[in-house]
């Protein structure tokens, strides 16, 4: 299984559209908030299931604040992250994930890509396709691959724009 993970596109959908047309087949898209009204557009151009959650800039939206998914053997929490103080690190996010028995927590909000793998929890932020904040300032997204043995692997990818 191959999952595209994005966040913080802020209605600037050109890079998202480029990624969707260039990465090949995917089985699912996860958007971790701050789509700012692009939900319909994303669902129209996707050829697979789409999961989108509420970000702190998704005003007047009825998107869910969080979502729980089961992908293979993994119980996954989708959250924007702003309720877990992610601007100061992932401590509270990991504690929440552990308390609720999640294997993986996917979040956005910081616009900085991150993959942290610990013995009991994996935390991933794909960064932002529109307003990157990490040192290289390249738009980013993540790919989650579930291999033939059922193991999850994560890759952060960058656009050269």
Collapse the DSSP code of 26 into the 3-class scheme (helix H, G, I; strand E, B; otherwise coil) and give the result.
coil
Identify whether the C-beta of residue 1 lies closer than 8 Å to the C-beta of residue 27: yes
| pLDDT, tens digit (0-9, with 9 covering 90-100), for 22-78 | 999 999 999 999 999 999 999 999 999 999 999 999 999 999 999 999 999 999 999
At residue 91 the predicted structure's pLDDT band, cuts being 50, 70 and 90, is: very high
- CA distance between the termini of the chain: 28
**What's the CATH superfamily of 2-158?**
Metallo-dependent phosphatases (3.60.21.10)
pLDDT at residue 28 in the model: 97
Tokens of 129: 């396709």
* pLDDT value at residue 160: 86
pTM of the model: 0.97
């Amino acid at each position: 299984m191959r999952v595209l993970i994005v966040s913080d596109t802020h209605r600037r959908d050109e890079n998202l559209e480029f990624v969707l047309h260039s990465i090949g087949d995917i089985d699912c898209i996860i958007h971790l908030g701050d789509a700012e009204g692009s939900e319909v557009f994303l669902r129209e151009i996707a050829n697979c299931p789409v999961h989108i959650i509420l970000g702190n800039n998704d005003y007047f939206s009825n998107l869910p604040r969080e979502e729980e998914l089961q992908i293979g053997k993994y119980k996954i929490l989708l959250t924007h992250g702003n309720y877990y103080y992610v601007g100061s690190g992932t401590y509270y996010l990991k504690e929440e994930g552990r308390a609720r028995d999640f294997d993986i927590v996917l979040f956005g909000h910081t616009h900085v890509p991150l993959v942290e793998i610990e013995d009991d929890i994996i935390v991933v932020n794909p960064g932002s396709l529109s307003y990157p904040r990490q040192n290289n300032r390249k738009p980013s997204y993540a790919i989650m691959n579930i291999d033939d043995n059922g193991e999850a692997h994560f890759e952060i990818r960058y656009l050269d724009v």
